[in-house]
Structures are given as C-alpha cells and as structure tokens.
Structure 1
C-alpha cells in the first residue's frame, strides 16, 4: 500500500492530466455521437460509443500506470525539442507513401470522416488507437514475458515486444484489403508496420505523448487534409 501511495504521490500531476483527458474524451464522444450518430459505427460495431471510449481510456490509465511504475515507459518527460521535432517529422514520410498508394489504387471514399467533424474525430480515435494497439498489448506482453523470463534483461524483452506489437495495426488494417492487388496489400502492410515500429520506438525513447503526437501528425495530413480533398473529389 505504501508503494502505491508513493507512486500516486510522485506521479499525481501526470495522473491528474490523464484524468482530465478521460473527461475530455467522454465529452468529445458525446458531442460527436450527437452530431452524427453513425460516426462510430465502423469502429465500435454497435457498442455504445461513450461507454466504449470511457472503458478504453480507463484501461489506458491502468496500463500506463503499470508501465510507469516499472520505469519502462513514460507518459510525459522533458525531451530534446529539436530531436523530438525531427523524429515527429518522419510521420510526413509515412503519410506521403500512403497518399501515393491511394492515388494508385483508390481506397474507399467513405473511409474518411468529413470536415469539420474530422477535427474532433481523429484526435479522439487516434488516442484510442494508441491504447488498443500499443499501450494495452505492450502491458500484457511485458507482464507475461517478464514473469516467464525473470532472468532475462528487461530491455531485451521490451525491444522484442516492440517488434511484435508493431504488427498488430498493420494486420488489422490490411484485413479489409482483400479486393486490392497483392502488391498494394504488401506495401500498405510494410508502411504501416514501419509507422507503428517508429511510434513504439518513440514511446520507448521519448514518451506516450510524443507517440500520440506522431499519430496526430499522420492523421492531420492523411485523414483531415487529404481526406477533405478526397471527399471533395479534388484528387
């Protein structure tokens, strides 16, 4: 109990910030669900969006607290600003490849949420994606592997987990691409794998906030700006 109290005291500012984020997520979900009741259909398969988002964010804080307590990852820390900005800039490379693939094979037009709802939707769905594709599986895998291989260097386990977990989102995304050419499926998978691998390395070397910002930059160019152009028929 004393260990828990010490942990909560040391990290209370970060936990308070995350708690405020949970409240913001719930409010944002309600606003989006009110403005367009079908906006979450493709992602939540009929589940209540508000409850689903709330549960995912609570899972997020539990998992991040575990990782933070083990000193394996950080939610936020002071970083070298220039180094961080250069790293975040890599998101533009990945989104450029995605756009070039889209120009060639044309992804479904309804995959993008229309502007201006996109400005609210993608920061929210991006945050949930970080929990579901990265934080939650990282916590589960590290808990299991560190328990089984107690005498193994934890850093080796973490890097192994990063390589494995980076496959989850690419597998999920290409599962709906059966109708596309095999070269496109392979290229999309590789691009998404490298994107996720980069994110998880950022999580390891910087923090959760930086990893989330990396996805936001990607979503800004791909879903918001390019999505606006796609839905308008500009390209």
Structure 2
C-alpha cells in the first residue's frame, strides 16, 4: 500500500487532535494560545487551514510528491530521536550565549498541548501547502525540480525565524543554517515515509527544546 494512501486519514486524526489541544489551551491559558497569531486563537487559525492541508495532501499524492516507495515499517522512534537531537545545538547556544528571549517557551501546564497542536499546524503551513502549490506548477517527480522545490519550501521557516530573531547577526545566521538543514531533512523524510514521519521529527524537537528545556527554565533551574 502506498504510504500516501495512509496519509490522509492519519492527517485528519492529527488535525482533530491538534484542534482539541489548541482549544484546550485557549480555555485554560488564552494568552499562550494567542501569542503567535495575536487576536486570532491558534485553534481557529488551524481550523481554517485544515481543509487546505487535506487538499494539499491530495494534490501531492497526484502530482508525484510521493513517488518514493517505502519498504518495511516507518522508523518513528528513530525519527523522534533524530528530531530530539536537533534540540542540542540551541540548548548549547542558550547555555553559552543566552541569545533567546526569556518568554520564548510557552509555560507548563499548557506547553504540551500547545506544542503538539502547533507542530501539526507548522507542518501544514510551512511544508504541505507551499509544496502543493509548487506541485501544481510542475509534478514533483524525483529530479532537479523536486530538489529546487524542497530548497524553496525549506527557506520559509528560515525566513520566519530570522524575521522574529532578536539575537546577534552571527548567531542568527548560524541558527538559520541549522533550521534550513532541519527543514530539508524533514522534507526528505516526508517524501520517503509520509506526513506522520515528518511530524515525528518536529515533535521530537519540540519535546526536548520547548517542553524539557523550557520546563527547566520555568522552574528557574537555568538561572
């Protein structure tokens, strides 16, 4: 069975869980749920994006983005660990240079619900939608066009993070390069294993960076 055929129901489950999680955050900690979108609650933003995400998956399935075939089971645990390992560099930077704002992490107990929901939202907005738009221009069969599209899509989160950065320019460039690598690897994972595999990497990263490290910061253990 093609992995793409399994992606749609899995994505719908993820969307439902994400909206419930972000809705819970809106009820229990509305300031956290609106910190990224201002007056708009995150759950409402995602509810609007979800139909576009479903459409994007259908387009990608039909336009060659899933030409690679998987063999055997998807290594979800390995992908979670891989995503977690990407948190080590920002943790090291935080220890050495302290370049990040003190309110970067959403505090517990809202944090796990917020970041679980935002992970699905981020993959929809930053990867599925732009990749589907490019697939409409030309099918994403393996080759130079696919590589170019992945490079273009990977720059979106880089541009967003650089735009919000308040750190030293050298550190910003370093972090931007790191984010670019993370996104390119995610897109490769998506094209090979599917949406859940790509999401696993971001969840692994968020678990260590925002939940574990952010939780320690909230407890005052890092001051």
State the alpha-carbon separation in 1 of the partners of residues 141 and 203 from structure 2.
Answer: 33
Cα deviation 1:173-197 (Å, max 9, x = unaligned): 121224x222211111111111111
For 1:129, the equivalent position in structure 2 comes to 122
Q: Which protein, 1 or 2, shows the higher relative CO under an 8 Å CA cutoff with sep ≥ 6?
A: 2
In structure 1, how many angstroms separate the alpha carbons of the residues matched to 2:70 and 2:27? Answer: 36
Aligned counterparts, 1:214-233, within 5 A: 214-233=201-220
Pick the aligned partner of 2:18 from 14, 25, 32. 25
Please identify, of 155-164 and 132-141, the stretch whose mean Cα deviation from structure 2 is larger.
155-164
Structure 2: runs of 5 or more not aligned: none
Partner of 2:54: 61
TM-score (normalised: structure 2): 0.86
- Within 5 Å, give how 1:46-195 maps onto structure 2: 46-73=39-66, 79-81=72-74, 85-106=77-98, 107-144=100-137, 146=138, 155-178=143-166, 180-195=167-182
Find the structure with the greater CA-based Rg: 1
RMSD in angstroms over aligned alpha carbons? 2.5
1:166–1:196: 8 Å Cα contact kept in structure 2?
yes
Question: Which residue does 1:4 correspond to in 2?
Answer: none
Distance across 1 between alignment mates of 2:11 and 2:97: 39
State the shift of 1:96 in Å.
Answer: 0.5
Give the count of matched residue pairs.
Answer: 217
Given the two structures, how large is their TM-score scaled by the length of structure 1?
0.82
Distance 1:197 1:48, change over 3 A: same
Shift of 1:85: 4.4
Question: Is contact 1:166-1:197 (8 Å) kept?
Answer: yes
Structure 2 counterpart SS, 1:39: helix
| 1:35-46 alignment runs, 5 A limit | 35-46=28-39
